[in-house]
Amino acid sequence: MRCSSRDGALDMYLDGELEGDEADAMRAHLASCRECAMEQERRLALSNLLRGGLVRRRAPDVLVARIRSQLAGEDASRHRPHRRTRTRLLAAGLLIAAVSGGATSLIAHREQGPSTGEQVLASHIRSLMPGHLTDVESNDQHNVKPWFNGRVDLSPSVPRLDDDGFPLVGGRLDYIGGRPVPAVVYMHRQHVINVFSWPVEDGEPAIAATSTVQGYHLVHWRDAGAEYWVASDLSVAELEQFVVLFTRSESSAATM
Amino acid sequence: MVSYADAESSPHLHSSTNADVRAIQSSERSAINRAMAVLSREFREVIVLRELQDLSYKEMSTVIGVPIGTIMSRLARARKRLASELERHIQEAS
């Protein structure tokens, strides 16, 4: 017979939600209730199995820290609803790859050397110089996408995001990691957004991670088979909104 | 009911060479992946945030945008479902 009266409390205890007297009471109960002690063992074994099996799929700590700090900031400013929206968006971005992206995999993160980010940033800045932004200039993805055929070894995603305020500008050939990669260019309120992508060997999905270098924001993630880097001087919130839209239409296009 | 503690100490472990251990770890990983794959998005979400990201109920409530009570019940159902799926996959594998 299960000690059901303690069920929710046991969950809370194991999840670290009980403190002080409540935690002491649960510890005392566990010492005397065989049913709950067994359930505790099963739960710890399940947690260990999950953490062990998925350990290399964890999000980068820096991302978790950012969620935490955003949540803390939210507490401090409850009257500013846009922060909530922003957190929800961030959570959506976090979970897109983790939950809806790969069918079988969760979160895979492999530390990117700073060199890739630096190269992406350099390419982005170079693209802002006059005459460097696009090799093919078009607002139509049916012009931009085929242009890359034969030029790069990956057909880049070119979702149509005009209605969301991110019109397509065009595409160009760029060089990152010593090989040609497609750069797809979007615009938002006069800000340029470059989307770089290239195929990767072990294509385990990785969640989006954002970094800021010299005032530019970089977001990178990985889906099955391809690595993506997005660079812009948009605000982090707007850039992450773009990433959410981009990945959403990408996955809906893939399932069509 | 077979607990995961039982599943972990499967007979293969008695002659545990490194290769054996790796094979078991790899089959565990694939069992976990397959079990996670059949969970609904809501269930996977709470499992990931709690078990992998160590978010508190309150943090999860804010991130997902549902009350703490919903987080708790969803998490409990998700764990139950995950446990039964894992059990099934591990039994099938052995």
Is B11 in the A-facing interface, judged by CB distances under 8 Å? no
Nearest residue of A to residue B50, measured between CA atoms:
A15
Which residues of chain B does A12 touch, with a Cβ-Cβ cutoff of 8 Å? 57, 72
Which residue, A186, A59, A183, A201, is CA-closest to A121? A183
Residue in A41, A59, A107 closest to B5 by CB: A41
Mean pLDDT of chain A: 75
Nearest residue of B to residue A39, measured between CA atoms:
B3
Nearest residue of A to residue B69, measured between CA atoms:
A8
pTM: 0.43
Q: Which residue has the higher pLDDT, A2 or A223?
A: A223
Which residue, A182, A162, A171, is CA-closest to A133? A171
Neighbours of A67 (CB within 10 A): 20
Give pLDDT tens digits for B29-87: 677 777 887 888 888 888 887 887 778 898 888 878 889 999 999 999 999 999 888 88
8 Å CB contact between A195 and A230: yes
Is A12 in the B-facing interface, judged by CB distances under 8 Å? yes
Alpha carbon separation from A209 to A49, A212, A228, B34, B74 (Å, rounded): 26, 10, 11, 25, 27
Residue A233 per-residue DSSP state: S
Q: Inter-chain contact A53–B50, Cβ cutoff 8 Å? A: no
Is A45 in the B-facing interface, judged by CB distances under 8 Å? yes
Which residues of chain A does B36 touch, with a Cβ-Cβ cutoff of 8 Å? 104, 106
- Looking at domain B17-93, its CATH class is mainly alpha
Residue range A100-112: average pLDDT?
33
Determine the distance in angstroms separating the CA of A58 from the nearest CA of chain B, rounded to an integer. Answer: 6
Q: Inter-chain contact A11–B5, Cβ cutoff 8 Å? A: no
For residues B80 and A237, give the distance between their C-alpha atoms in angstroms, rounded to a whole number: 36
Q: Inter-chain contact A53–B8, Cβ cutoff 8 Å? A: no
Give pLDDT tens digits for A63-73: 555 556 665 66
Which residues of chain A does B21 touch, with a Cβ-Cβ cutoff of 8 Å? none
ipTM over 0.90: no
Q: Inter-chain contact A11–B75, Cβ cutoff 8 Å? A: yes
* Geometric angle at alpha carbon A114, from A107 and A151, rounded to 5°: 80
Domain ranges of chain A: 4-53, 63-255
Lookup result for tokens 């990408």 = A250
Lookup result for tokens 């999905």 = A205
For CA atoms A211, A214, A215, A218, the dihedral sign is negative
- Those residues whose C-beta lies under 8 Å from the C-beta of residue A222, and which sit 6 or more positions away, are A97, A108, A200, A203, A204, A205, A206, A228
Domain ranges of chain B: 17-93
Give pLDDT tens digits for A12-48: 999 999 988 989 999 999 999 888 888 888 888 888 7
